[in-house]
């Protein structure tokens, strides 16, 4: 692509005249060092001029992204759009969107380079994968199991639905309680409908232990990793999520809990309803739009007005970074692509923001990160960060 064509495409994007095919051409231009320099100059100028790309208006950027996917080429009105529009990006359009300001970087690093080792690429996006461990110790690999009844736990039938999720059907017997555990690997996620009708989405490298029937005075499950909950309301049977030394108590609500071992804190984000978070004899009541952070020392803090879409982005099929450090970004990438992350030299001080579809190839994700001047090398299932 010559420089004039590149400049025209970029200008037409800003004028909201760019089709998906043309976005692909912009993406391909990154393979040319001269074009990459033009990208860098254009990104720098646009990030300094918010009025040119509408970065200050997230709804506006959602509208632009939606128009590119539809390929209509029609102008997008500047009035607000439905914020819950799911941002499913075409992989070819990801870098074009990122370069005009939706994906921003706060950095002054060296020139970006294309990732090495693509011929050895073994790192692929995750998918619907999980193992169910029954009360007797039997393990069922759910991603290869057929639909229909796959196991019995007393009077309860374990069903794999046509939609790929797991459900428990049956009244359950009074008396001894039996427990199952649903575990996702790195690069996996799964949804389950619990015996009480509550839905739980389990993120990669996570596990949920739960009874096959909720017969007691309360409903208690144990979480490791990350999960999003939509709890069936039952005033007579409060629902509790046990996470390490912390408990989240609810009646009926929607919330997300992030409690990975390799993260410094446990974060509970409330989308709907009300919950109470208890830790070490202390408790905090939460309202929608709040996030409670539990620290290793045992203290908790609460934050108002958080971006709840960021907290549940993984459930909706994309990464959402907001002032996220490079190690934080790479931990998420490593879990979803089942890749080991290592660093050569000091860890670069970078902050990232934006959205990337989780079905994107790891190459596309790394190309976006490389716009901040960080390089990567892929060796088998290892991603090596090169400052």
**Burial of 14 from C-beta contacts in 10 A (0-12 / 13-18 / 19+):** middle
Q: Average of pLDDT values for 263-280? A: 94
Least confident of 21-35, 220-234, 236-250: 21-35
Decide: 285 and 310 in contact? Cβ < 8 Å: no
- In the chain, pLDDT over 70 holds for what percent of residues? 67
Mean pLDDT (the chain) is: 78
Stretch 182-209: mean pLDDT, rounded? Answer: 96
- Whether 265 has a pLDDT exceeding 50, the answer reads yes
**Measured distance CA(101)–CA(195) in Å, rounded:** 45
Would you say 205 and 314 are in contact if contact means Cβ atoms under 8 Å apart? no
- Strand ranges (E), 306-380: 318-325, 340-343, 351-357, 375-379
Answer whether 53's CB lies under 8 Å from 63's CB.
no
In degrees rounded to 5, what are phi and psi of residue 374?
-95, 140
pLDDT grade for 121, boundaries at 50, 70 and 90: low
pLDDT at 344: 92
Q: What is the DSSP letter of 156?
A: E
Q: Which residues in 184-299 belong to E strands, given as ranges?
A: 188-193, 199-202, 207-211, 219-230, 239-243, 246-250, 254-259, 266-272, 275-279, 282-286, 291-294
Mean pLDDT for 199-205 is 97
Q: Is the pLDDT of residue 141 over 80?
A: yes
185/154: higher pLDDT: 185
Angle at 248 between CA 237 and CA 305, to 5 degrees: 125
Confidence of residue 10 (pLDDT cuts 50, 70, 90): low
Report pLDDT digits (tens) over 66-120. Answer: 444 444 444 333 322 222 222 222 222 333 344 333 344 444 343 333 334 433 4
Q: Of 87-101, 183-197, 363-377, which range is least confident?
A: 87-101
pTM over 0.75: no
Rounded to the nearest 5 percent, the helix, strand and coil shares of the chain are 25, 35, 40
At 349, is the pLDDT very low, low, confident or very high (cuts 50, 70, 90)? confident
Query: Which pLDDT band, with edges at 50, 70 and 90, does 15 fall under?
Result: low
Spell out a b/e string for 250-285, using b for 16 or more CB atoms within 10 Å of the CB, else e: bbbbbbbbbbbeeeeebbbbbbebbbbbbbeeeebe
CA distance 55 to 100: 9
The 8-class DSSP code of residue 220 comes to E
Contact 362, 121 (CB under 8 A): yes
Q: Please report the pLDDT score of residue 81 as a whole number.
A: 24
pLDDT tens track for 162-176:
888 999 988 665 667
């Amino acid at each position: 692509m010559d420089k004039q064509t590149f400049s025209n495409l970029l200008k037409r994007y800003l004028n909201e005249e760019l089709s998906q095919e043309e976005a692909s051409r912009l993406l391909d231009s990154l393979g040319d060092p001269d074009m990459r320099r033009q990208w860098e100059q254009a990104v720098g100028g646009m990030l300094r001029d918010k009025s040119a790309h509408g970065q200050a208006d997230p709804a506006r950027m959602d509208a632009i992204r939606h128009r590119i996917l539809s390929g209509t080429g029609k102008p997008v009105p500047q009035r607000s759009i439905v914020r819950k529009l799911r941002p499913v990006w075409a992989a070819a359009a990801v870098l074009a969107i990122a370069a005009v300001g939706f994906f921003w970087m706060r950095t002054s690093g060296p020139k970006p380079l294309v990732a090495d080792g693509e011929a050895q690429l073994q790192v692929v996006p995750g998918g619907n994968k999980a193992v169910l461990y029954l009360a007797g110790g039997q393990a069922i690999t759910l991603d290869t199991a057929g639909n229909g009844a796959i196991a019995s736990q007393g009077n309860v039938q374990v069903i794999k639905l046509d939609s790929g999720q797991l459900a428990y059907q049956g009244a359950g017997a009074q008396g001894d309680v039996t427990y199952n555990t649903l575990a996702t690997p790195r690069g996996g996620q799964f949804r389950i409908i619990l015996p009480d009708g509550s839905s739980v989405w389990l993120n990669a490298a996570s596990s949920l232990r739960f009874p096959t029937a909720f017969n007691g005075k309360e409903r208690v499950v144990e979480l490791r990793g990350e999960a999003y909950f939509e709890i069936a309301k039952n005033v007579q049977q409060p629902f509790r999520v046990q996470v390490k030394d912390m408990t989240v108590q609810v009646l009926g609500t929607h919330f997300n809990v992030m409690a990975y071992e390799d993260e410094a804190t446990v974060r509970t984000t409330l989308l709907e309803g009300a919950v109470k978070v208890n830790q070490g004899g202390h408790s905090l009541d939460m309202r929608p739009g709040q996030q409670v952070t539990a620290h290793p020392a045992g203290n908790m803090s609460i934050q108002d007005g958080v971006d709840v879409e960021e907290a549940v982005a993984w459930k909706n099929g994309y990464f959402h970074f907001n002032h996220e450090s490079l190690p934080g970004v790479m931990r998420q990438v490593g879990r979803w692509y089942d890749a080991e992350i290592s660093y050569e030299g000091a860890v670069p001080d970078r902050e990232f923001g934006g959205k990337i579809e989780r079905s994107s190839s790891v190459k596309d994700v790394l190309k976006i990160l490389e716009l901040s001047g960080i390089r990567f090398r892929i060796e088998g299932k290892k991603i090596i960060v090169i400052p």
